[in-house]
Structure 1
Amino acid sequence: MANSSTLVVSRSTEDAIKRRAWLGLLTILGPVLLVSMDGSILFIAMPRVTSAITPTADQALWILDIYGFVVGSLLIAFGNIGDRFGRLKLIMAGALLFGVGSTGAAFSTNPESLIACRLLMGVGGATLLPSGLAIVAALFPDSRKRAQAIGIFAATFAMGFAIGPVLGGFLLQITDWWGSVFLINAPIVIGFLAVAPITLKEVRSSHYGRIDLLSLFLSFVGILLFTYSVKRAAAFGLTQEQLLYGVVGIAAVVWFIRRQRAIEDPLVDLRLFGDRVFTISILAGFLSLVVWSAAGYMTSVYLQSVLGYTVFATALLMLPGAVVITGTCILTPYIIERIGKRVGLIAVYLLIAIGVGLLLFTDVDTGVTLVVVSTIIAGVGYGISFSLVADVAVSAVPVERAGAAGAIAETSNELGNAFGISLLGSVAALVFRLYGPGLAGTLNETLDTPDIAADGIIRANEAFVFGFHIAMGIAAVIMLFVGLIAVRWLPRKLPE
């Protein structure tokens, strides 16, 4: 009888632990969704933002990608800080900072304050991914359940990227206020802060490396100065000041790389890139986000400002691509069982190249069908990438270096999201500056110019579409080229 009672109590306790674990995972998914969603939700809102607070061409690009640069630059550092001081404490502080930044962004009245608030959001967001993943892993001691939980974590992160523009469109349709795409974060953050201390537990590591502050400074400053130089060149042409920023940025990045090879606890373990499989997988994650972010942003502007679709209609047109990305993320494990990791990784490059290549056939009058088909075809590639890259990267390295490989995979995604708009967006901006009517630096600024003539509107639209084609052509060529390299480099059988 006593044994029976003990068994019942034991099962009851075990069930309670399982429930707590799944509730903890559900709690973490809220901020994870916000972090990824905020990397893309502005795509569809930018025409409204541009009309409301009139940023310059380079300010508009900073508004879009300062968030991704900050998140990408700080992910590894905050992973080390969480190991030392506690993941739950860090993620709670980060969520609070994210919420404050979001609220400030919603009520910004000028480009400078919006950029500053987006930077603050990036600092908060950078705490959430590595800490959230560590907490989820600790919630599920059983390896099979832990794999399921991490898979759900990764799918949620990918889904956030996909649904960001769609949700942004719905919010703008309902509220007719661009600040709503930021203020929507506040209730989710408040709910997380209220529930997290109950459903989550503190996680620390007894093995952590020293945080090299100089490396952190060099990587952050190098990336920002280099991209700032590119943006200034695209918006205003080459200047002595702009070139100086670029040179200093490149020098900081080179110094950072050399330092990682010399110090005992590097922020980025560059030795991992000696493995071809690891390198190709990281490139897939990085480049897929480069193309996805640039295509998402410019397609949204094209549909609204060139073809004249409403925000709500634009959101609906982007919905099929979002559904395909989310569905592919879920189905990728089953797809890979049939075709293998090698074919899956190569397919990422080729599908995205084909998808964005279709955008080269759009024009100032028609292109909706091409846009939808493009998002569907490329969406399959994006979905496979979001689900497969981290797994391939981690599998390609020794077990003791899996954590470093996972951190690099996450960082490559965030930097890709930011670099896409910075680099390809700057190419499009440069083309618009050279071939547009010369009234302003961006399409939306030009269309908002008082008493603009009909031929000025036509010329502005044609210049934007030309820049759009150049940027997407570059993206397609790069993906195709690296895809062909992957065909040659990747072994027939990738490690499981």
Structure 2
Amino acid sequence: MRWLGLAVLALPTVLVSMDLSVLFYAVPALSAELRPSSDQLLWILDLYGFVLAGLLITMGTLGDRFGRRRVLLGGAALFGVASVLAAYAPSTELLIAARALLGVAGATLAPSTLSLIRTMFTDPRERQIAVSVWTLGFAGGTMIGPVIGGLLLEHFWWGSVFLLNVPVMLLLLVLGPILLPEARNPDPGKFDLSSAALSLAAILPVIYGVKKIAKEGLAWSHLAAIALGLVLGWVFVRQQLRARQPMIDVRLFRHVRFSGSIVACTITFLILAGIGLFVSQYLQLVLGYSPFEAALWSLPGIVGMLGGVGLATMVAARVRPAVLVATGLILTSAGFALFAQVGVDSGIPWLLASQVVLAAGVGAVASIATDLVLATAPPERAGAAAAISETANEFGGAAGIAILGSLGAVVYRAGLFDNPPTGLTGEQLAAAGDTLATAVRMAGELSGEVGQALLLTARTSFVDGLHWVAWIGAAACLVLSGFVLVVLRSVRPTAEVKA
């Protein structure tokens, strides 16, 4: 019965992560129909992730207090309703509101599924297997989101990408009460509304500032938003340390296996998200594939993820977590090193090899580290612990796109400006230096050798930036593997841990 329950929990996990990327290919169609402004389009794409990240801790705590199954099923119902609203939204404003509701609902689903796994699987070995399945579902949803979206858009209207959620959520509402146990903190204390508001006020400005830097570059307003979030985060931590019954137990970070696992996952997702930004651009703007073809080329990563998660799970009973996580990070480093070998016109073999190796490493790190986070937290605080882990991953992904994306942009502009194609005016060169997409569009508009020279120079400069990012990722993973070996050295394998 527990394993059937795990299968039910995997369904919303896939959809929550898939909704982060499923809209990518629907943008042209929904733009033609709803005609959103550029700012409104950004809200349509980003609001789901903003709200999801901001409410994870609050919703995880609500699950601990009111019941994780109850919160999960309530979130599933809201997710289904919001999906229908989004699919048939007659205006931009309603679509934005529906995306916000999807973020609220998604924030209930992610920590509830993971915390229920902590409740259902008390045996360390079984829990490790269950967490591995959850990891595959979450990572797989992100990878297949663009592919599913592309397939639906070939045959249906843009809103169809949301309707896929409805039957899955209905199935969860039917099977959840039968297969999933109810679990809550037996002594939750009074719900602290001020702490919930403060956690949201701390997380949202940081995520917002980081994402804006990734899209628009450094600006004082973006840095001010991050600074404000960090200050509010410090106030939140101080409040939790003083509270008799804190919303989240920040003292968990004193446990090396908790804090070390959070750091490992955050930095891993930071680097992975950053390199993912370059993969999509490389496939479309350097090699010339369509968006759907580019998404298909990313699918081999699922094979690597399955191998990494499966192998780590098989040996977790006998091998120390420090060794497994460090090995995963070394594999990730090797994947980045392979990615650094791609060229302007001969990169697919290296790219495929890189994706498989890199995904295998990330799968091992994520599955083992996530299990350590759950194992460290007491069962009554499982929802809050799962929410902390998910929030850290969200922040890592946003920071990766901002930091590594900015680095790649600097190298790209430097390469373009140091070797400017002959025949371009200063204004044209400046415009081409904004993004590779702009340079490719301009090259198509220019005639003859000037356009060809611009295209070659821009693509070469972009690949140079990609190489810089890949080597930095490889070095960072090696350093992080040493850190993990030190901080997690005392954690025993699951076979030596009592249930």
In structure 2, the partner of 1:476 is 474
CA RMSD of aligned residues (A): 3.9
Q: Could you tell me how far apart the structure 2 residues matched to 1:129 and 1:45 are?
A: 24
In structure 2, the partner of 1:11 is none
Residues 157-198 of structure 1: CA deviation (Å, up to 9, x unaligned): 433313533353254145336654433223322333344455
- Secondary structure at the counterpart of residue 26 of structure 1: helix
Query: Does the 8 A contact of 2:280 with 2:294 survive in 1?
Result: yes
In structure 2, the partner of 1:156 is 134
Query: Does the 8 A contact of 2:211 with 2:398 survive in 1?
Result: no
Q: 1:91 aligns with which of 72, 81, 93?
A: 72
Q: Could you tell me how far apart the structure 2 residues matched to 1:108 and 1:464 are?
A: 38
- Secondary structure at the counterpart of residue 186 of structure 2: coil
**Structure 1 stretch displaced more, 369-378 or 345-354:** 345-354
In structure 1, the partner of 2:426 is none
In structure 1, the partner of 2:420 is none
In structure 1, the partner of 2:205 is 225
Query: Does the 8 A contact of 1:79 with 1:127 survive in 2?
Result: yes
Aligned residues with identical type, % of pairs: 35
User: Would the alpha carbon gap of residues 387 and 122 (structure 1) be closer, same or farther in structure 2, given more than 3 Å must change?
Assistant: same
Q: 1:123 aligns with which of 88, 104, 112?
A: 104
* Structure 2 runs not aligned, ≥5 long: 417-428
- The letter of the residue matching 2:336 is V
Q: Could you tell me how far apart the structure 1 residues matched to 2:485 and 2:358 are?
A: 19
Deviation at 1:416, TM superposition (A): 2.9
- The letter of the residue matching 1:278 is F
- The letter of the residue matching 1:476 is A
In structure 2, the partner of 1:166 is 144
Deviation at 1:322, TM superposition (A): 0.5
- The letter of the residue matching 2:328 is V
**TM-score of the two chains, using structure 2 as the length reference:** 0.78
Deviation at 1:104, TM superposition (A): 4.7
User: Would the alpha carbon gap of residues 233 and 333 (structure 1) be closer, same or farther in structure 2, given more than 3 Å must change?
Assistant: closer
Deviation at 1:128, TM superposition (A): 1.3
Residues 40-87 of structure 1: CA deviation (Å, up to 9, x unaligned): 545x74886898679869975x76655444334322321222233333
Q: Could you tell me how far apart the structure 2 residues matched to 1:200 and 1:287 are?
A: 33
**TM-score of the two chains, using structure 1 as the length reference:** 0.79
Query: Does the 8 A contact of 1:69 with 1:418 survive in 2?
Result: no
In structure 2, the partner of 1:269 is 249
Residues 409-431 of structure 1: CA deviation (Å, up to 9, x unaligned): 34333433444334434544566
1:189 aligned onto 2:169: yes
User: Would the alpha carbon gap of residues 125 and 235 (structure 1) be closer, same or farther in structure 2, given more than 3 Å must change?
Assistant: closer
Q: Could you tell me how far apart the structure 1 residues matched to 2:31 and 2:456 are?
A: 19
**1:441-480 correspondence to structure 2 within 5 Å:** 442-444=435-437, 447=440, 452-453=445-446, 454=451, 455-480=453-478
Query: Does the 8 A contact of 1:230 with 1:426 survive in 2?
Result: no
User: Would the alpha carbon gap of residues 108 and 359 (structure 1) be closer, same or farther in structure 2, given more than 3 Å must change?
Assistant: farther
In structure 2, the partner of 1:244 is 224
Query: Does the 8 A contact of 1:227 with 1:422 survive in 2?
Result: no
- Secondary structure at the counterpart of residue 298 of structure 2: helix
Deviation at 1:126, TM superposition (A): 1.2
- Secondary structure at the counterpart of residue 340 of structure 2: helix
Q: Could you tell me how far apart the structure 1 residues matched to 2:434 and 2:88 are?
A: 25
In structure 2, the partner of 1:10 is none
Q: Could you tell me how far apart the structure 2 residues matched to 1:339 and 1:158 are?
A: 21
- The letter of the residue matching 2:445 is I
In structure 2, the partner of 1:378 is 358
- Secondary structure at the counterpart of residue 266 of structure 1: coil
- Secondary structure at the counterpart of residue 431 of structure 2: coil
Q: Could you tell me how far apart the structure 1 residues matched to 2:28 and 2:413 are?
A: 21
Query: Does the 8 A contact of 1:163 with 1:322 survive in 2?
Result: no
Q: Could you tell me how far apart the structure 2 residues matched to 1:335 and 1:96 are?
A: 38
User: Would the alpha carbon gap of residues 328 and 304 (structure 1) be closer, same or farther in structure 2, given more than 3 Å must change?
Assistant: same
Deviation at 1:321, TM superposition (A): 1.4
Q: Could you tell me how far apart the structure 2 residues matched to 1:429 and 1:63 are?
A: 25
Deviation at 1:23, TM superposition (A): 4.5
**1:381-400 correspondence to structure 2 within 5 Å:** 381-395=361-375
Q: 2:304 aligns with which of 315, 324, 328?
A: 324
